[in-house]
Amino acid sequence: MSRVLRLIHLSWICVLALLGCQQAEEAPVFHWQLQSHAVAQANDFKELVTFAENVRVMSGGRLNITPHAGGSDALVVGPDIFAAVSDGRIEMGNGWPNWWSGQHPAWAVMNAGPFDFMNLDASMLFFLGAEGTQLANELSQPKGVIWRAAWWPGMEFGLLSRAPINSLDDLKGKKVRIGPGLPSEVLAAASGAYAIPTVPSEIRPALASGALDAVEWTTTSGAWDLGLQDLSPYAIVPAIWQPSVLSDFLINEKAYAKLPPDLKLILETAIKAYTLTTTIDNKINDFEALKKFKAEGVTLNTWTEADLARWKVASDEVYRKYKAENDFSKKFIEHKQAFKQEYNDYYSLFGPYD
């Protein structure tokens, strides 16, 4: 190659390099707001902070997500998180599917209701490997929302209470904080309690004032993190109403569509990392939290066999009602039940043997 051609060749390399730098500098930067149900001290919110930082680093600062905890400084609260994602006030939300039941009744049956998936791995398999996420998006996307599973607390804790609860009979007429939807309906039907869907920041004041007699709040570590041990020295476990609960992410569809392919991949990868890390870490934390409740002197009771039979009767009746109300709820319940049967058939041969 002649000296002139080499100079021309090098000149083009320099031009292309400069154009590449200019394009990189001009790459759009996205700023998203993420509102969570979780309070700031909860481990799942702390993991959201890590999730946002991971996205920022992996994207080279091109996708910046600011997570907001539930409480007085929240951008939106409770069931309004779904509406805020839908109408674009925020780009992402994080909460619990049953809180979106005002959008459609089927959201109430998406979470693990009574006698539903009894293990978190069954629920994970259904949503991550089978058709659960597809069904959820059939519900969410007409509202302009993309749905993703967030993490699995698994079996919830139970009820923390001001006075001893030894059976369902002790709950009659009591005011119980529990999330909305199918779980609260089954609790009310089985016990005669009043179900009150109080948001996290209002739980402690309501319990202290006597406006609540008992509180359900996620898993063992979640209940501990809420810090109610001094107000509620009694608990009855486990949470029959949600044996394998899951948390979810909501993403504004228009905001997602504006992301280039690499940022979409980074976001999806970070979500999966959050799912695995938060699910495992919180279950380990549950082991430690149970020790703390015992060390604190909290009296732990369990449901009687008679109680379980009453829970089952009430649960079956509520499921029948949901299946009769609309076709999508019926479809969702039947698909979950079919997958649960496959799961049980497999583990009847390959389950624990000790």
On whether the CB atoms of residues 107 and 182 are closer than 8 A, the answer is no
Question: What pLDDT is recorded for position 25?
Answer: 58
On whether the CB atoms of residues 226 and 156 are closer than 8 A, the answer is no
**Of 249 and 114, more confident:** 249
Structure tokens of 101?
């039941």
| Per-residue pLDDT reduced to its tens digit, 147-206 | 999 999 988 899 999 999 999 999 999 999 998 878 889 999 999 999 998 887 889 899
Instruction: Quote the CA–CA distance of 121 and 286 in Å, as a whole number.
Output: 16
Least confident of 132-146, 174-188, 290-304: 174-188
On whether the CB atoms of residues 158 and 236 are closer than 8 A, the answer is yes
Confidence (pTM): 0.85
Closest CA to 282 of 94, 150, 98, 102: 150
pLDDT for 258 beyond 70: yes
Which residues of the chain does CATH 3.40.190.170 include?
28-153+245-286, 159-243+299-349
**Of 241 and 52, more confident:** 52
**Of 156 and 273, more confident:** 273
Mean residue pLDDT of the chain comes to 91
| Per-residue pLDDT reduced to its tens digit, 63-113 | 999 999 998 889 999 999 999 999 999 999 999 998 999 999 999 888 878
Percent of the residues in the chain that have a pLDDT greater than 70, as a whole number: 93
Q: Is 251 helix (H, G, I), strand (E, B) or coil?
A: strand
CATH number for region 159-243+299-349? 3.40.190.170
Name the amino acid, one letter, at 165.
Answer: I
CATH superfamily of 28-153+245-286: Bacterial extracellular solute-binding protein, family 7 (3.40.190.170)
| Per-residue pLDDT reduced to its tens digit, 231-255 | 899 999 999 988 888 999 999 999 9
Pairing of strands 299-302, 234-237: parallel
